[in-house]
């Protein structure tokens, strides 16, 4: 008698309506998804039409090849002064350079541990290290350190691959226009290496998709795998769309860390989807005799895993937000991509993957009387 009551109680608890009804309000969730996807897709297409390399997002020098320089000025440089820097690059044939003011002085100083190279009117006339006396060396090092600490403005420049000697001429023109400055960083990436990095990034993403389809097909069934991949493509397009908009309006460029962010988001999102799918499969077996529509079982499963999904994502997001606010400038876009990706990945695991699977199975007339294998 007690066993019967316990079983009835457990079954009543299992069939109890949850906090959300994914199936009943499916059109609302799909509309929310499309409302976020459509603007991003528009800017992806706009970038592919307008950009010289026809890329969906603005590619950094990691993928296109080029030179990145960062200058520190002891005086204040405003937006009105940037055309003077652009003119210095344009006069030497480096048109289309992306020039930005970096306002976070403390974060940029912490990112560069090497001693800066002072650039000034008399820089070319300085004696070599072998010719300097010990007192000269101490004075030079002290002056460089002092100049680094007293920087008022940091300006970054991304431009085409620079020819030998052009950088010195451009630096001299900038010094004449805006005064003494400090070269904080100069990096160059060749076009061959950049193209190889871009191709390897795409191959890594495609390989991740193929492996996920294979694993989910083996672990669950093929329709589970297809719905999970659609949710992952949804996340990827959304993330690309956000950075396409940022590139269109703010000239934000992506580097190799962006590929790392996408792969991390894909792994996090599919992990969350597997948790929902695993609970859905277990409930299908338990409710085998009830002949319930698959959508009802999907809704029950989503509500049972809802708190876990939100709590797991929230703890990750709190850490990433702290890193975004307090971390260095060089990793800020990477962390931002992670924040966006994890947030949309959680949404797709709850509202997209399970919804599509229920839709698929109900359209095929498959209910709880055909539970998944595995």
The CA-CA-CA angle for residues 331, 336, 340, to 5°, reads 155
Give the model's pLDDT for residue 250: 82
Identify whether 10 is part of a domain: no
Same domain, 197 and 185: no
What range does the domain containing 265 cover?
Answer: 19-58+193-363
Long-range contacts of 369-374 (CB under 8 A, 24+ apart): 369/288, 369/291, 371/281, 371/284, 371/285, 371/288, 372/220, 372/221, 372/224, 372/281, 372/284, 373/220, 373/221, 374/218, 374/219, 374/220, 374/221, 374/281
Identify whether 3 is part of a domain: no
Higher pLDDT, 3 or 218: 218
Same domain, 49 and 124: no
Residue ending a domain, among 162, 189, 216, is 189
The tally of domains found in the chain comes to 2
Higher pLDDT, 225 or 192: 225
Half-sphere CA count of 301, side-chain side, radius 13 A: 32
Give the model's pLDDT for residue 233: 92
Q: What is the pLDDT of residues 171-220, one digit of tens each?
A: 889 988 888 888 888 887 776 666 787 788 889 889 989 999 898 888 88
Identify whether 255 is part of a domain: yes
Mean predicted confidence (pLDDT) in 362-369 = 64
Mean predicted confidence (pLDDT) in 254-273 = 89
Residue ending a domain, among 166, 189, 212, is 189
Higher pLDDT, 215 or 161: 215
Give the model's pLDDT for residue 126: 43
Residue ending a domain, among 159, 189, 219, is 189
- Helices 332-347 & 222-250, crossing angle to 10 degrees? 140
Identify whether 370 is part of a domain: no
Give the model's pLDDT for residue 7: 42
Identify whether 11 is part of a domain: no
Same domain, 184 and 200: no
Mean predicted confidence (pLDDT) in 240-251 = 90
Same domain, 118 and 262: no
Give the model's pLDDT for residue 192: 67
Same domain, 150 and 290: no
Same domain, 252 and 353: yes
Give the model's pLDDT for residue 239: 94
Q: What is the pLDDT of residues 108-133, one digit of tens each?
A: 455 554 445 555 544 433 443 444 43
How far is residue 106's CA from residue 91's CA, in Å, rounded to a whole number? 32
CATH of the domain at 124: 3.30.70
- Helices 294-326 & 332-347, crossing angle to 10 degrees? 160
Same domain, 223 and 354: yes
**Tokens 């004696």 appear where?**
127
Same domain, 160 and 203: no
**Across the chain, what does the average pLDDT equal?**
78
Same domain, 73 and 175: yes
CATH of the domain at 337: 1.20.1640.10
Mean predicted confidence (pLDDT) in 239-244 = 94
Has residue 30 got a pLDDT over 80? yes
Same domain, 295 and 197: yes
Identify whether 293 is part of a domain: yes
Give the model's pLDDT for residue 133: 39
Q: Does the CA dihedral 194-195-196-198 come out positive or negative?
A: positive
Same domain, 251 and 320: yes
Concatenated DSSP letters of 302-338: HHHHHHHHHHHHHHHHHHHHHHHHHS-GGGHHHHHHH
Backbone angles phi, psi at 293, to 5 degrees: -60, 145
Other beta carbons within 10 Å of 221: 20
Identify whether 298 is part of a domain: yes
Give the model's pLDDT for residue 52: 75
Same domain, 216 and 331: yes
């Amino acid at each position: 008698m007690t066993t019967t009551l316990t079983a009835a109680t457990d079954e009543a608890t299992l069939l109890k309506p949850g906090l959300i009804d994914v199936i009943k309000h499916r059109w609302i969730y799909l509309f929310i998804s499309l409302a976020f996807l459509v603007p991003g897709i528009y800017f992806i297409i706009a970038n592919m039409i307008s950009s010289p390399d026809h890329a969906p997002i603005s590619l950094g020098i990691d993928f296109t090849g080029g030179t990145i320089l960062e200058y520190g000025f002891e005086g204040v440089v405003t937006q009105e002064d940037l055309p003077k820097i652009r003119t210095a690059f344009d006069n030497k044939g480096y048109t289309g350079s992306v020039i930005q003011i970096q306002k976070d002085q403390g974060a940029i100083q912490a990112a560069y541990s090497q001693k800066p190279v002072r650039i000034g009117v008399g820089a070319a006339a300085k004696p070599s290290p072998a010719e300097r006396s010990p007192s000269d060396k101490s004075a030079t090092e002290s002056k460089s350190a002092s100049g680094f600490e007293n920087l008022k403005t940091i300006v970054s420049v991304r431009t085409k691959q620079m020819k030998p000697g052009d950088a010195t001429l451009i630096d001299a023109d900038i010094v004449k226009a805006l005064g003494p400055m400090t070269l904080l960083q100069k990096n160059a990436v060749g076009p061959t290496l950049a193209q190889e990095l871009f191709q390897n990034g795409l191959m890594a993403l495609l390989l991740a998709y193929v492996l996920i389809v294979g694993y989910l097909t083996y672990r669950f069934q093929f329709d589970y795998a297809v719905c999970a991949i659609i949710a992952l493509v949804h996340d990827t397009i959304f993330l690309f769309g956000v950075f396409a908009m940022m590139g269109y309006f703010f000239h934000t460029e992506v580097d190799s860390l962006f590929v790392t962010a996408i792969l991390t988001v894909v792994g996090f999102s599919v992990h969350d989807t597997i948790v929902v799918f695993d609970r859905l499969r277990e409930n299908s077996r338990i409710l085998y005799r009830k002949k319930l529509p698959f959508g009802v079982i999907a809704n029950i499963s989503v509500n049972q895993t809802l708190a876990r999904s939100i709590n797991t994502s929230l703890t990750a997001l709190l850490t990433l937000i702290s890193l975004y606010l307090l971390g260095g400038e060089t990793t800020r876009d990477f962390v931002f991509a992670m924040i966006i990706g994890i947030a949309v990945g959680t949404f797709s695991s709850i509202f997209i993957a399970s919804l599509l699977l229920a839709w698929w199975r109900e359209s095929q007339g498959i209910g709880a009387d055909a539970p998944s294998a595995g």
